[in-house]
Every structure is written in structure tokens, then in C-alpha cells.
Chain A
């Protein structure tokens, strides 16, 4: 069965530190990949997505993610985090006609 793993449940960083949140999925076919973000008290919203083409995807607010097919990974990165990046981050995978599956989420806390 299709699944998504986010191994980091809670990450705490200082401002200006670099960020990498892991996401691995289990599905051998063609996939669409997403990262969603939920800021405190707000809706879930799309951060970035990968469908095809360049495996390095740029999103909003300086985030990027790299699709590495051989590793079944789609890790989220940001070179320098800000306090306003404090949020919960969800990786999601859509295998074409199937429903979208979300990971369990990673809570990111940024120390000012």
C-alpha cells in the first residue's frame, strides 16, 4: 500500500539555521509530490509541488524540495529559516489516479 513517512516529528532550530525535513514514500510508479504547510491558527496551504521535469522544485517563502526517484524521497529545504517559518509541515503523495496520502507531519519551531 502507498505510504508516506516523515521521520522528524518535531524540529527545533534557531533563526538563520538551515532546514531539511525528510519525506519518503513507498510507491513504485509515477507520483506527484507535495509539501503543505499549516501556520498556527491557519488553513493548510500548498508550499510547493512536483509533477514532472526539474526534480528541484522552488516554492513560496524560499523553500525548495528535491525529488530523488532512486531514494523515493522528496525532502524539503530552506537555507536560512525565520521565526515566521514556525508551522507544521506535511508531505503528500499522489499516485496518479489514487487518493492523496499525507505524512504524519513535522512540527517546526524556530527560536528567535
Chain B
């Protein structure tokens, strides 16, 4: 079956503009994660959705960042008033979550965001 997909693959924007990044998880996966990977840095956790529970937003770096997950499937990460330090690869992952007997995450290809 299809894996996790993300769009766009690349996004170049000007400082101060808003951007939306999209993630389509694997069908049936109840857990969805957003991470940020900056050059030379590890994976920085941003936000976690599990089923219908309230999302864990503890990793969002500022109130300019928000995410939603509609119908328990597709997720959108929104960055408002982008700054140059927001430039990074944004990764989405999904897993079976609490229902499955494994929490292996399957990663998408990422969206490379460049803020000029």
C-alpha cells in the first residue's frame, strides 16, 4: 500500500508569509507526528495526534506554529509569519498508535522549507 506522503516536497517563501504543509498518513494509522529536522540537527518533535484525543503540542516552538488533523487522517502544519530560522525539513510520520502492537513509525519524504 501507499506510504506516508507529504506535499509540497519543496517550499520557498519570503519572510513574513504564511505556509501550509500537508501530510497524508498511512490509512488506518491513528497516530501522526510532525518533526523538524534542521541542518546538522536531530529530529525535533513538534506535535503528536493520537486518534480523537487532544493533540500533544508540547514541541511547537512558538505560537506561530499550529497543526490540525481533519477526520483523523490528513494533517496540515501551518507556520504563520515565517522567519528564516524556520527553514528546515519538516517530516511527518504515522504509526498504528495505541491500537496496534507496534509503534513503529513510517516516515514521509519531508517538505524542505526555505524562508528567504
Say whether A associates with B: yes
Interface positions of B from 36 to 75, Cβ below 8 Å from A: 41-43, 45, 48, 50, 56
Q: What count of chain A residues pass the 8 Å CB interface test?
A: 21
Give B residues with C-beta under 8 Å from A.
33, 35, 41-43, 45, 48, 50, 56, 91, 93, 95, 98, 101-105, 107-110
Q: Which residue of A lies closest to B59 (CB)?
A: A99
Q: Report if A43 contacts B (CB, 8 A).
A: yes
> In the complex, are the beta carbons of B42 and A94 less than 8 A apart?
no
**B40 → chain A closest CB, angstroms:** 9
> In the complex, are the beta carbons of B102 and A51 less than 8 A apart?
yes
Q: Report if A103 contacts B (CB, 8 A).
A: yes
Asked if A45 meets B103 with Cβ closer than 8 Å, knowing A90-B43, A99-B56, A102-B35, the reply is no
> In the complex, are the beta carbons of B102 and A101 less than 8 A apart?
no
> In the complex, are the beta carbons of A44 and B107 less than 8 A apart?
yes
CA distance A34 to B56 in the complex (A): 21
Q: Report if A60 contacts B (CB, 8 A).
A: no
CB-defined contacts of A104 to chain B, threshold 8 Å: 41-43
